[in-house]
Amino acid sequence: MTVTVRLVMVLAFGGLVLSHGMALAGPPTDHLKQYSDQVLKILEDPAMRGEDKRDERRAAVRKVAIQVFDVEETARRALGRHWQGRTPDERREFVDLFADLLERTYLSKIDFYGGERLKYVSESLEGDRAIVRAKVVTKQGTEVPVEARMHQRGDRWLMYDVLLENISLVGNYRAQFDQIIRTSSYQELVRRLKDKRGERLGAEAVRPRRTSK
């Protein structure tokens, strides 16, 4: 997956939008827009730029993203039929590992943010489910279709899947996880996720720190 594609996923995942408003936008779209100014303010704040601000910048964006993205629901769908056989402790562990995987794979790409914008196209509502269709517009004018799948939780609308050019984030992970479990075991999947987390933490531990001048 190229940096450009991953960045598009970050834009959708984190609700990074300075939108061209869609007429008669409904509550789901409104909820996505609610977080747009917060994230853009972080990314476009001169005080938050630079290598020495990387961890602070990512933490700030993550704090916003988790308010609009239902990681537990996404993890449940990504594990698919294998979710039912898991104990409560196993489910909690998997959600935690999956959240770390998403953050490691996508959230770190905010460092490549280059002024992309999300243009809303349409919204479909059916009960407590919604689909918000949009296009990510690059500074060069390229448009990439993206679709946010959402559900209502109380008075909030949360994303649980993102489709980029009709490729589902949930579906992609579900296929990977299912193959590992079928060819090996659920324990092997957890081991791999833990190993990936360990690699990330190890890399962060040895990464040189730069200070502002």
Confidence of residue 104 (pLDDT cuts 50, 70, 90): confident
In CATH, the number for domain 3-199 is 3.10.450.710
Alpha-carbon distances of 200 from 100, 108, 144, 184, rounded to whole Å: 10, 11, 30, 24
Pick the most confident of 11-20, 28-37, 125-134.
Answer: 125-134
Question: What are φ and ψ of residue 86, in 5° steps?
Answer: -90, 145
pLDDT of residue 54: 84
179 vs 166, which has greater pLDDT? 179
| 183-204 per-position pLDDT tens digit | 999 999 999 999 988 876 665 5
The ranges assigned to domains in the chain are: 3-199
Half-sphere exposure of 164 (CA within 13 A, CB side): 20
Determine the Cα–Cα distance for residues 10 and 108; give it in Å rounded to an integer.
9
Angle at 112 between CA 106 and CA 114, to 5 degrees: 125
Give the pLDDT mean for 130-155.
88
